[in-house]
Amino acid sequence: MSKILYIFAGSVWAAAAELAVAELGYKDGENITIKVVNLVNGENFAPSFVKLNPNATLPTLEAGGKVYGSTAEVIAALAKDAPVKVKAGTSITETIHEEKYDPNFAMLLSRNEAELTAKGAGLAGTFIGNRQAALEKYSQSADAAPYKAFYETKLAQNGGMLAIVTGKAPEEHKAGFFAKSQAHFDSVKGAVLEVLPGFLPASGFIGGEVPGEDDFHVGAWLARIAATCGAKSADDAPAAFEKAYGAPVPASVAAYWGAWTARPSWKTVYASGLH
C-alpha cells in the first residue's frame, strides 16, 4: 500500500515525520512518496490541500486509504507499518505539542520593537505576507466555497499578525503582542530548562537506545528552539541556548542534543540547517 507524506523543508513538525521516515527505514520512491508543500508560499491553503487535511497543516500522510492530519497521527501510522519497531508515543508527545510550547510561535514572536523590525524584515515577515496573499487568492476560487469558514478564520488570524509586522496595528495590539511574546519565550525557556529534564533520560533516548515516537517530536521541537536561539549548527546550540536563557542547559538536555545530532537521520533532515 503506497504512502504519500507531505512535508516542507522549513517545517518543524514535518521534520519530526522526516526523522521518523529515516529512523524507521522508509525510502522515498520505494515505500513512501515525499511531496513538498511550500508553506512559505502558502501552498497549504490551496483548496485541494484543505480538502485533504481540514487544518491545512504539515505533516500530512495518506496511507491505506486514510489521511492522517496531525504529527502524532502521522508518526504513529508510520511506526505501525514499519518493520523496525520503536517505543510507542506517550503523554510526552502531547506535552511537547501544548500550545504554550508552540515552536511555530516561538519563531514568530517579538518581544520588543527591535525584534519586531528584524523579524518583519526577515523570513517571518515574508512568510506572513505570502500567506495572506495566498489566502486571498485561494479563498476567492470556486473550489474554496466549501471551506469558507476556514478561510475567514485564517484571513483574520494571519491578517492580525501581518498588521503587527507591517506596523499597521494599533499600539495596544502591538503592546499585547509583545507581552504575549515575552510570556511564550519564558514558557519555552521553562520547557528547555525544567520540563524536558523531567522526562529525558541521562543518556540515549526516551525510546531507549534508539529514538521512539516521542523522540521524533521532542527532537524536532528542540532543533527549532535551538534555531530560534540563534544556533546555526548542532555544535553551536549549547552556547546559543546559554546566551538566550542566561543559564547552561541541564546535563540531560545537552546529552539528548548530542545523542540526536550524532545520528545519520538527523544529519539528513537538518543537512541544510536547523529549522
Ligand X SMILES: *[C@@H]1O[C@H](CO)[C@@H](O)[C@H](O)[C@H]1NC(C)=O
Ligand Y SMILES: N[C@@H](CCC(=O)N[C@@H](CS)C(=O)NCC(=O)O)C(=O)O
Binding residues for ligand X, rule: CB under 6 A, are 24-27, 30-31, 53-55, 69-70, 82-83
User: What distance in Å separates the CA atoms of residue 33 and residue 47, rounded to the nearest whole number?
Assistant: 21
- Closer by beta carbon to ligand Y, 90 or else 104: 104
Closest CA to 104 of 184, 36, 237, 12: 12
When asked if residue 100 is in the footprint of ligand Y (CB under 6 A), the reply is no
- Closer by beta carbon to ligand Y, 56 or else 191: 56
Quick one: cell of 274? 536547523
Q: Which entry of ligand Y, ligand X, none binds 139, CB below 5 to 8 A by partner kind? A: none
Q: Which entry of ligand X, ligand Y, none binds 205, CB below 5 to 8 A by partner kind? A: none
| Interface with ligand Y in residues 31-90 (CB under 6 A) | 39, 44, 56-58, 70-71
- Closer by beta carbon to ligand Y, 12 or else 46: 12
Q: What is the DSSP letter of 143?
A: G
- E strands present in 54-121: 60-63, 66-68
Task: Compute the least distance from the CB of residue 8 to ligand Y, in Å.
Answer: 7
Total number of residues shown for the chain: 275
Q: Which entry of ligand X, ligand Y, none binds 13, CB below 5 to 8 A by partner kind? A: ligand Y
Q: Which entry of ligand X, ligand Y, none binds 49, CB below 5 to 8 A by partner kind? A: none
Kindly give, in sequence order, each residue whose CB lies less than 8 Å from that of residue 259, ignoring residues fewer than 6 positions away: 203, 204, 205
Closest CA to 258 of 205, 217, 216, 187: 205
- Closer by beta carbon to ligand Y, 71 or else 181: 71
Q: What is the DSSP letter of 134?
A: H
Kindly give, in sequence order, each residue whose CB lies less than 8 Å from that of residue 162, ignoring residues fewer than 6 positions away: 128, 129, 132, 168
- Closer by beta carbon to ligand X, 221 or else 257: 221
Binding site for ligand Y (CB under 6 A): 11-14, 39, 44, 56-58, 70-71, 97, 104
